[in-house]
Chain A
Amino acid sequence: MPLPVPVPVPQEHNPKPEPNRAEPLLLTLRSRRATRNLGKALAALLEPGDVVWLEGELGAGKTFFTRGLLRALGVPEAIPVTSPTFALMHEHEGRVAIRHLDLYRLDDAAELDELGIEEALEGAVVVIEWGARFRDAIAARGVEIVLSVPDEGGGRGAALRGVDARGARIVAALASTPSLR
């Protein structure tokens, strides 16, 4: 599979924010370890203000992926990283502040206000499960990761795509990460 060309340095002066029309980066995560490695590689690239959108059917491994990502962001092992489906949002402290949201139970974008979504996006790395249907109401930025369970065999598939130009740069950097090949 030809890999997208890495873009090494974040551009200070984009002539205009470029919508990302590139093909998604497709990865096969053969083991739980491979999933954790993806989390590790992504964690190294994330800064407060970045949003990670996690999509995929029930049981695709969204919360499992998030746990690996949060450990790599410095959330200690003693702190459980569990599903926020019921609570809607869990807050964590690693090397940065992290908010882990799950919008599975929300039916209506109006409910996002009740959740305090605007404050939640400030000053933290934000991971949002089941959020794509509300993306326009939240923030059209960051990286989208769609996890899938293959029909045959084990492991998981992951399709990564930048939602905005910064997200695209993060995905491009992942594409050139040796540990993910």
Chain B
Amino acid sequence: MRVLGIESSCDETAAAVVTERGEVIADVVASQIAVHAPYGGVVPELASRAHVQNVVPVIEQALAEAGGLDTIDAVAVTNGPGLVGALLVGLSAAKAIAFGRELPLVGVDHLVGHLFAVYLHRAGELASAPELPYVALLVSGGHTAIYEVTAPGEARILGQTRDDAAGEAFDKVAKLLGLGYPGGPVVDRLAARGDANAIELPSPMSSRRTLDFSFSGLKTAVARYVKQNGVPEDPADLCAAFQRRVVRVLVSKSVHACKERGVPRLVLGGGVAANRGLRARAAEVCAEKGVSLFVPPVSSCTDNAAMIAYAGALRLAAGERDGLDLAAYSRSPDVKRGKMAKAR
């Protein structure tokens, strides 16, 4: 079975074709095909969110790579959480295709998509994927949370940020230091040659009594440091100090969640999973504690439609279908402690 997946929940418009086993046939993200777009070359931030302009070219390219619409058996689409206006663009396109071709349609929760992205793999490759259940650390510009993934399409949230997402903290610290946007990669690069002990910063909510995170105080501490001392000529030490605090608390709580749940498997996901400091620290602590670590390639971690297609395939395999009245939602239902919606 081949599923066409469509994603338009935030900045990226994306389409992909994936089999029920997670084999990626096509995987197209609008910001990567910018050269074909009318604005030519560089995509300004505005254009990257112009889902209406992007959605048809992106779907067309994914279908062209996959061998056409005739090869598609079902359509999966992100219907939340996100900006309803943005979601409706992908949702309308998905409904039109499903209706026109009489294909089954399923809605997918964007976060559930991320949690199962670890199973995605290219044709001929094997996914280095965990058996269920596993613990997943999802960390990006918009989300920072730890989940226990219990069954295909099902997960429960164990802890989450109470204020800023970790990726957002990276971006804002980069801005304070005049390093540009997005901030994650630059801070990561500078941190690699900085001395994390040179500058004292608070550890953000490092108590193991809760699996929740808080990064707002750390951001404020960096702001205060810059206010008092000015922007350092070489910000490497400050980047290293900041990144170490973030990475340590992310890894420590994730590994603690593995222990608490008796599940010795940890999956990283979300754009911040590309951070080298995070990967290195996770590898080190997991090895020490006997936890198997799974880190998908960066293209699977950042926002994409392949993960939506695959999570949709899981719903379809469970016999689930949505009608053409499928609605968009801005907030995942029951994203409270210990509960999360099924894959929809």
Q: Which of A8-16, A85-93, A121-129 forms part of the interface with chain B?
A: A85-93
Measured between beta carbons, the chain B residues less than 8 angstroms from A57 are: 223
Contacts of B81 in A (CB 8 A): 87
Q: Which of B113-121, B162-170, B194-202, B257-265 is found at the contact surface with chain A?
A: B162-170
Q: Is the CB of A59 within 8 A of B165?
A: no
- Chain B residue numbers with a CB within 8 Å of A18 are none
The 8 Å CB contact of A88, one of B83, B176, B227, is B83
Interchain CB contact under 8 A, A83 and B46 = no
A59-B220, A59-B223 given; A116·B330 CB < 8 A? no
Chain A residue, CB-CB nearest to B175: A58
- The answer to whether B84 has its CB under 8 Å from any CB of chain A is yes
Place the interface of chain A in its size category.
20 to 34
Smallest beta-carbon distance B180→chain A, Å: 13
The reply to whether the CB of A136 lies closer than 8 angstroms to some CB of chain B is: no
Chain A residues near B331 (CB-CB < 8 A): 90-91
Closest 9 CB pairs of A and B: A86-B142, A59-B220, A59-B223, A116-B85, A86-B141, A83-B164, A91-B330, A78-B336, A85-B168
Could you tell me which A residues sit within 8 Å of B by CB distance?
57-59, 61, 63-64, 67, 78-80, 82-83, 85-91, 105, 107-108, 110-111, 114-116, 119, 149, 151
Interface residues on B, range: 35 or more
Q: In whole Å, how far is B290's beta carbon from the nearest beta carbon of chain A?
A: 32
Known: A91-B330, A91-B331. A83 touches B165 (CB 8 A): yes
Cβ B165 vs Cβ A86 within 8 A: yes
B residues 136-158 near A (Cβ < 8 Å) are 140-142
| B334 to chain A: closest residue by CB | A78
B163 near A87: Cβ-Cβ < 8 Å: no
Please give me the residue from chain A that is nearest to B162 by CB atom: A80
Are the CB atoms of A86 and B10 closer together than 8 Å?
Answer: yes
Chain B proximity of A119: nearest CB distance (Å): 8
* Complex CA distance for A83 and B166, rounded to whole angstroms: 11
Report whether A107 and B142 are in contact in the complex, using a CB–CB cutoff of 8 Å: no
Q: How far is the CA of A126 from the CA of B79 in the complex (A)?
A: 24
Q: Is the CB of B46 within 8 A of A108?
A: yes
Indicate if the CB atoms of A111 and B223 lie closer than 8 Å: no
Given contacts A78-B337, A80-B162, 10 further A-B contacts (CB under 8 A): A58-B176, A59-B220, A59-B223, A82-B165, A86-B141, A86-B142, A107-B44, A111-B46, A114-B86, A115-B83
